[in-house]
Amino acid sequence: MSAWTSRRRRSLRFWGPSGSGKTTFLNIIGGLDRYDDGDLIINGKSTKDFEDWEWDAYRNNSVGFIFQSYNLITHLTVEENVEMAMTLSGVSAGVRRAKAAEVLERVGLEDHRHKRPNQLSGGQMQRVAIARALVNDPDIILADEPTGALDTTTSAQVLELIKEIATDKLVVMVTHNTELATQYADRIVQFQDGRVVSDSSPRETTG
């Protein structure tokens, strides 16, 4: 993991056909799936012997997730969906509200904070998901096919937002679209049949 980070934040893309292993690898980086071979190094520390609480702390504080299907809670407002990410971290109500307002403004949805997801377009729902991913100020943003359910114009708008986020965070995105991978990534890793078959900027692993 530490081999992917640098002083200048980067945008990294995993691409390949369905079933090639890119989403599984993304989930391993995010601590959602466990690996049974190799190692994941976080800030110079091996995760082989991580306790459950260490995985929880990593997921809650260091990683933000953006999913193709948005994963918004339909009966909550936009603001409440964004605040939900902070509830697990024990942040007070007042701080949650202020931080949610800040990130919703950043993604251009400050005027939609009291709406529910079913009142939004697909692009707006993905912006809510991005705001939720940003609200705990994580080091890494993991995006799994974030434009897969969007039309071409909306996809470009969402990707431009993600590109802007990559100026101060490491963004790792899964896509099956080679054009998008090439246009919006600093580094491209191609998967096939569960293996890395190419890497546009390989580096030696550490640890």
CATH number at residue 160: 3.40.50.300
169-183 mean pLDDT:
80
Does 188 or 101 have the greater pLDDT score? 101
Task: For 135, list phi and psi in degrees, rounded to 5.
Answer: -65, -30
- Print the domain residue range for 137: 2-199
pLDDT of residue 205: 47
pLDDT of residue 2: 37
Cβ atoms of 102 and 88 closer than 8 Å:
no
Predicted TM-score (pTM) of this structure: 0.84
164-182 mean pLDDT:
82
> Does the structure show a pLDDT above 60 at 28?
yes
> What's the number of domains the chain is made of?
1
109-134 mean pLDDT:
95
- pLDDT band at residue 18 using 50, 70 and 90 as cut-offs: confident
Q: Which two tokens stand for residue 142?
A: 């993991």
Compute the chain's Rg from CA coordinates. Answer: 17
> Does the structure show a pLDDT above 50 at 83?
yes
Nearest-angstrom CA–CA distance, 120 and 154: 13
Does 52 or 175 have the greater pLDDT score? 52
Structure confidence by residue, pLDDT tens digits, 32-63: 998 888 899 887 889 998 999 999 889 888 99
pLDDT of residue 204: 52
Tell me the CA distances in angstroms from 82 to 30, 55, 63, 182, one per residue in order. Answer: 19, 21, 15, 30
pLDDT of residue 114: 96
> Does the structure show a pLDDT above 50 at 8?
no
- pLDDT band at residue 6 using 50, 70 and 90 as cut-offs: very low
Nearest-angstrom CA–CA distance, 25 and 176: 14
- Residue 166 in any domain: the answer is yes
- Residue 204 in any domain: the answer is no
- Residue 206 in any domain: the answer is no
Q: Can you tell me whether residue 12 is helix, strand or coil?
A: strand
Task: For 62, list phi and psi in degrees, rounded to 5.
Answer: -110, -15
- Residue 207 in any domain: the answer is no
- Residue 65 in any domain: the answer is yes
Nearest-angstrom CA–CA distance, 15 and 31: 20
82-102 mean pLDDT:
88
Task: For 162, list phi and psi in degrees, rounded to 5.
Answer: -65, -40
Does 70 or 18 have the greater pLDDT score? 70
> Does the structure show a pLDDT above 80 at 1?
no
pLDDT of residue 206: 43
pLDDT of residue 47: 92
Residue owning tokens 């306790």: 51
Nearest-angstrom CA–CA distance, 147 and 135: 20
Does 204 or 29 have the greater pLDDT score? 29
84-98 mean pLDDT:
86
